[in-house]
Structure 1
Amino acid sequence: MAKILSVQNLKKSYQSGSKQLTVLEDISFEIEEKETFAIVGPSGSGKTTLLGLCAGLDQPDSGKIELCETIMNDLNEDQRALLRNRKVGFVFQDFQLIPTLTALENVAVPLELRGDKTASAAGKELLEKVGLGDRFDHYPSQLSGGEQQRVALARAFSTKPDILFADEPTGNLDEETGKKVVELLIELNKESGTTLVIVTHDMELARKTQKILRLKGGRILETVNV
């Protein structure tokens, strides 16, 4: 299998007052196409920072990131944004839906931005897949947290991304709703053959992936096959 993400000797630190805080130190791993991969670790272990670096939302101090056969270090911000738009999907803990758009419009927007004439039909099909066929015209404020996250899942898969980054996708949901969202995420992922990278503190969710990377204090403790 071809590698879709390769991370080598990654380091990231932030200035905090007069102190330099190292958030990640000497991080190296690889993810193959269509693999499901979880990054786990306690709060403050650097999980979300690592996800942001892998997706090109931020730049490392040193080390190399290759995503979808492109070396991210060589790209400027606009080029990284273009790569994300073409190849990458996101699911966030806080849903990040546009409040002034309906569920259907939220899902269709990424496709419309690409000039896809089937955006509305594709959006409806995806919302039906996640069990929201009767919610096309509802705004985020009219939906429960679980329903909002299902809209976010439909939106993330709408562009058929090569790789999907999910940051604590069940973090704002109760246990039962979280389980349903996880089932949907895994199911949609299998169907589309997308590479899936999940940051989570939920070990039950992590065990549904093929590989788990454990972080502690900004370093890799271990990488295990599930």
Structure 2
Amino acid sequence: MAKILNVTNLEKSYSSGSKKLKVLQDINFNVEEGKTFAIVGPSGSGKTTLLGLCAGLDRPDTGSINLCGSELSNLSEDERALLRNKHIGFVFQDFQLLPTLTALENVAVPLELQGNKDASKIGKELLEKVGLGDRIHHYPSQLSGGEQQRVALARAFSTRPSILFADEPTGNLDAETGEKVEALLFDLNKEAGTTLIIVTHDIELAEKTQHILRLKGGRIVENQQKHV
């Protein structure tokens, strides 16, 4: 099975006053194409920092990240943005919908940026798939948290990304709504054949994936591949 993400000897520090705070060290793992993968660990263990590095949103101090066949350290800022636009989808804990756009417009934006003439049609189909066919003209402020996250899921899958990064996708939702969003996430992912990487502190959610990477204090303490 081809590797869609390969992380080697990754280290990352941040300056805190005069001190240097090491957030990640000696990180090595890879993710196979089409698999579901969870990164878990307590708050402050480096999960979100690792996700940002893997998605090319930030640069490591040392080490290499190969994503979708490209070595990220060799790419300029613009080239990395292009790679993200072409291959990557994102789902965030706080939804990150554009408040001045309707549900349909939010889903259509990434497609329009790619010059897709069917952006509106695809957007409608996806919103119907996530159960929001009757809410396409509503603005984020008119939607519940669960509905907003479903719009965010539709947007993330709209460009049929090769890999989807989900950062605490159910973190702002109650248990029942969270379960519905989780089910949708896995269903859409299976249908699209996308590689899914979820950062979460929710062990139950992590257990639904095929591979769990556990961080503690910026280091990998467990790298468990499951036969799901």
Report the TM range for the smaller structure's normalisation.
over 0.9
Among all aligned residue pairs of Structure 1 and Structure 2, give the percentage whose two residues are the same amino acid: 77
SS of the counterpart of 2:14?
strand
Q: What are the Cα deviations for residues 101-146 of structure 1, in whole angstroms up to 9, with x where unaligned? A: 0000000111111111111010000000000000000000000000
Report the counterpart of residue 161 of structure 1 in structure 2.
Answer: 161
Report the counterpart of residue 87 of structure 1 in structure 2.
Answer: 87
SS of the counterpart of 1:86?
helix
Question: Where do 1:27-176 residues align within 5 Å?
Answer: 27-176=27-176
Which residue identity lines up with residue 223 of structure 1 in the other structure? Answer: N
SS of the counterpart of 2:199?
strand
Which residue identity lines up with residue 197 of structure 2 in the other structure? Answer: V
Which residue identity lines up with residue 157 of structure 2 in the other structure? Answer: F
Which residue identity lines up with residue 138 of structure 2 in the other structure? Answer: H
Report the counterpart of residue 180 of structure 1 in structure 2.
Answer: 180
Distance 1:112 1:57 in 2: 22
Which residue identity lines up with residue 130 of structure 1 in the other structure? Answer: V
Corresponding pairs, count: 226
Q: Quick check: 1:19 aligned with 2:30?
A: no
Distance 2:154 2:105 in 1: 11
Runs of 4+ in 1 over 4 A off after TM superposition: none
Q: What are the Cα deviations for residues 17-63 of structure 1, in whole angstroms up to 9, with x where unaligned? A: 01000000000000010010000000000000000000000000000
RMSD after superposition = 0.5
SS of the counterpart of 2:7?
strand
Distance 2:208 2:126 in 1: 22
Which residue identity lines up with residue 117 of structure 1 in the other structure? Answer: K
Distance 1:107 1:208 in 2: 26
Distance 2:59 2:173 in 1: 30
TM-score computed with the length of structure 1 as normaliser: 0.99
- C-alpha displacement at 1:69, in angstroms? 0.4
- C-alpha displacement at 1:76, in angstroms? 1.3
Distance 1:27 1:111 in 2: 34
Report the counterpart of residue 192 of structure 1 in structure 2.
Answer: 192
Distance 1:73 1:208 in 2: 32
User: Structure 1, unaligned stretches of length 5 or more?
Assistant: none
Q: What are the Cα deviations for residues 135-158 of structure 1, in whole angstroms up to 9, with x where unaligned? A: 000000000000000000000000
User: Structure 2, unaligned stretches of length 5 or more?
Assistant: none
Which residue identity lines up with residue 71 of structure 2 in the other structure? Answer: I
Distance 1:185 1:208 in 2: 11
